[in-house]
Structure 1
C-alpha cells in the first residue's frame, strides 16, 4: 500500500495484490493530506495478507476495531482504502464496480461546473462560458466573510452576483449557490429570502451542519432546495440530518465519508426519506470515478460535482493523471458512467510518480473579519 501526495492538493493510494492486480483510491481530506496518509499507513497493518475481496468485512473491522472511530481523518483514510479494494475486485472479475453493486440504473449523470472562486468574481462571464462548453448547471460561492449580523451591502453584493449569472445564462440553467458554512443563523435567513427570486437549483451549506437544528424551521420553509453534507463522515453523522426534514439534497464525499461501501448505505437511507444525493467531489479523477460508480446504482443521485477547471487546480487538473481522459468526456451537460473494469479508469502511474516528487502542502486560507476575529472560509 503506497500513498502519493500530488499537486494540486490530492492524495492517491495504490494497493497491489500478490497476483499483481493494482487498485487505486483517493484518501484525502483537503489540507490534511499528510495526516490521512499516516492513517492509511496505520490501517495497512491489518490489511496486508488479507483477501482484498472481503470489502464489507474489512470496512467493518477498520471502522470498529480501533475503538476510537469516525471523523475526517479516519473516514477519509478508510474511504480511499475502500475505493481501492472495489477497484481491485472489479479488475479481478473484469467488470465495473457498478455491476458488483447490482447493475446501473442510469447510463449517464448530469454534472455541474464551478464558476468564480472563493471570493466570487467574473461569475457571469464564466457561467456563460460554461454553458457554451455544454454544461447545463453551474455552482458558485455566495457570500464572502459574514458576521452574525452584517451590513446590507454584503447581502446586495451576493444578490447582484447571482442576478448577473441568471441574466447571463437564462432561466433554464441550474445555478447552485454555496454558502460554504460562512453564514450564521441570522444572516442565513436574510440571504435565503433575498435569493428566492432567482429560482436556484439549490443553496449549499446555508449554515454549518452542526447548526442545522437551530435554523430548522427556516430551512424547512425555504422555497429553494437545501443541500449539505460534505463535512459529515458516516451514516451516523447523516442520520439526524436525513430524518430532520430540513435537507432536500445530501452531499456525501466518497473520499471523506467511508468510500463506496458507506456512501451506498447513506444514499439508500436518504432515498427512504425521498431525499436526493449529489456527491461532493472537488477532487481528483479517482474520487470522481468512485462517485460515478455510486451514481450508477443510486436511484436518487441527481447531479455530480466535478473539478475540471476549479479554482484550486492551478498546477494540475482533473484529467492529468489518467491515461485516457475521454472517460470523463462531458456531453450535453452529462458524463457517461465508466464501463471499464473496477473504477473504470486507468491511472497514469508514471506521471503520478513524477508529480509525487513535487507533492504539495496545500492549506485552506485563514480569513478574518474587519475586527480581527476569525471568519469562516
Structure 2
C-alpha cells in the first residue's frame, strides 16, 4: 500500500506521519530570487520634464481634434499652450459620427482648462452635464481622458504607469484572435498565432444562432475548442451575447470538459440574475464588461458574484481614469481585469498601462492581425515604434518612455482621416436567421 492510498476514516497515512515528522520546504524559484527586492527595470524609465512644466499657463488646453481613420478607429489629439501633444482613442465601433458629435461639444467646453488636472476634467465631463454614462458620452470622455494622461506623462517625463502608482509587473499577458464573425479555419490560424509568440487566443463561440436552436448547432463550437487546445494553446470563447439563455447553459456544459480559458458575454448585459444562475452551473471562468461603461454599471455584477473577470474597454469606459477605478473596485470582489481591446494602438497602450500597475490584471486583448483590420490597416499602421508591442512568450513588455510610450505618424493620420471622411464609417454586419428575423451580432 502506498503512502497516499485511501485509509479508513480517523486513521493516519504514512504520508501524513512523515509530514508531521519533518516539514518540507521547497527553495524559492528563480523568479522569486530575481524579484526578491522588488521590480527594478535595468533601463531608464523617465526623462527630463518638458520645459513647459515650469511655465505658468503652458499646460492649458489649446486645441482638441479628432480623426476617424481606417479600419474603424477614432483618435483624439489634444495640444497644450506649451506645445505638448497627447493622443487618446474614443473608438466606438459602428457609432463614429455620434462620438464625433460629442467630442465637438467637449472641445468647446474644455479649451483653457489645465490639462494636468485630469480628475477635475473627468468629474466635470461626467457629473456636471447632468446626463451621465452611456456608450457615446463615455467614449468621447475616454478619448479625452487617455490624451490627458499622455500629456501629463510627457510633461513630467514619466510613463503613465508611473503616475498610476508604479509598476507591479514588467510584462502584460495578451491574446490574439482567430476566426472571425463566422469562425472557421481556427486551427491553422491558432498555429500562426503560436508562431507569433502567443500562448492564448480568443474566438467567437458560434455563428448566428437561433433563440432556441438545435443542440447540434453547438457541436462545431466544441470541436473547434478541442482542436485549438490540441496544438498546445489556451483559448477563450466569446459568446458575444449571441447565445440566449436556453442555449447558453447547454453550450457551457458541453465546453466544460475542454476547459476554455474563459467564456465571454455568455448572456447579454442586463441579465444579472440569469448570469448568476449560469455561474452556479459551470466551473468555467465567466468574463463580461465591454458593454459596461462605469463603476455603477459594473456594480450589480460584482455584488451578485456572477463573473470572474471584468472586461472594461478603455475606449468606452471613461479612459484610464475610470478603467483604473473599475479595476480597483473589482479587486475587492476577487475579480480579475482583462481589458477588452479589439481597437487601435492608443487604446491598447492605455490598457497595458492599467495592466502594468494593477494587481488583479490578468490578460489584455490585442488587435494585431484581427479580422476587422482590413484594407492594409492594422495595429502598427500609424505607429513609428511598433517594436514596443512585440509579443514574446504570450506577453508584451513594459512601455518605458514618457506618456503612453508610443509614437504616431501624425502626417499619415491626417492624410488618412481626410480620405476616410469620404467613406462610410465601419458598421457591424447584419445577421438574420432562415426566417428573416434579425439575430444578435
2:317/2:323 contact within 8 Å kept: yes
1:220/1:245 contact within 8 Å kept: no
Map residues 285-364 of structure 1 onto 2, 5 A cutoff: 285-315=345-375, 316-359=377-420, 361-364=425-428
Larger radius of gyration, structure 1 or 2?
2
Q: CA deviation at 1:220?
A: 2.9
- Could you tell me which of 33, 58, 65 is aligned with 2:121? 58
Match of 2:313 in 1: 253
In structure 1, stretches of 5+ residues that fail to align are: none
- Could you tell me which of 217, 237, 253 is aligned with 1:154? 217
Note the alpha carbon deviations across 1:182-216, whole angstroms, 9 max, x for none.
01111000000000111110000001111232241
1:37/1:77 contact within 8 Å kept: yes
- Could you tell me which of 259, 278, 290 is aligned with 1:218? 278
Give the TM-score normalised by structure 2. 0.84
- Could you tell me which of 219, 227, 232 is aligned with 2:292? 232
CA distance in structure 2 between the partners assigned to 1:236 and 1:138 by the alignment: 30
Map residues 60-139 of structure 1 onto 2, 5 A cutoff: 60-139=123-202
CA distance in structure 1 between the partners assigned to 2:383 and 2:67 by the alignment: 14
Instruction: Name the SS of the counterpart of 1:53 in structure 2.
Output: coil
In structure 2, stretches of 5+ residues that fail to align are: 1-63
- Could you tell me which of 363, 367, 373 is aligned with 2:431? 367
1:25/1:82 contact within 8 Å kept: yes
**Residue 376 of structure 1 pairs with residue 436 of structure 2:** no
**Residue 243 of structure 1 pairs with residue 306 of structure 2:** no
Note the alpha carbon deviations across 1:218-272, whole angstroms, 9 max, x for none.
2133111000100000010000111111100010000000000001110000000
2:161/2:357 contact within 8 Å kept: yes
**Residue 284 of structure 1 pairs with residue 347 of structure 2:** no
Deviation >3 Å, runs of 4+: none
1:7/1:358 contact within 8 Å kept: no
CA distance in structure 2 between the partners assigned to 1:43 and 1:69 by the alignment: 14
CA distance in structure 2 between the partners assigned to 1:132 and 1:50 by the alignment: 48
Q: CA deviation at 1:70?
A: 0.7
Q: CA deviation at 1:9?
A: 0.3
1:2/1:15 contact within 8 Å kept: yes
CA distance in structure 1 between the partners assigned to 2:102 and 2:74 by the alignment: 12
CA distance in structure 1 between the partners assigned to 2:272 and 2:431 by the alignment: 23
1:70/1:234 contact within 8 Å kept: yes
Match of 2:106 in 1: 43
Give the TM-score normalised by structure 1. 0.98
2:279/2:306 contact within 8 Å kept: yes
Q: CA deviation at 1:281?
A: 0.3
Note the alpha carbon deviations across 1:256-307, whole angstroms, 9 max, x for none.
0000000111000000011000000000001011001111111000111010
- Could you tell me which of 160, 163, 177 is aligned with 2:237? 177
Q: CA deviation at 1:44?
A: 1.4
1:116/1:141 contact within 8 Å kept: yes
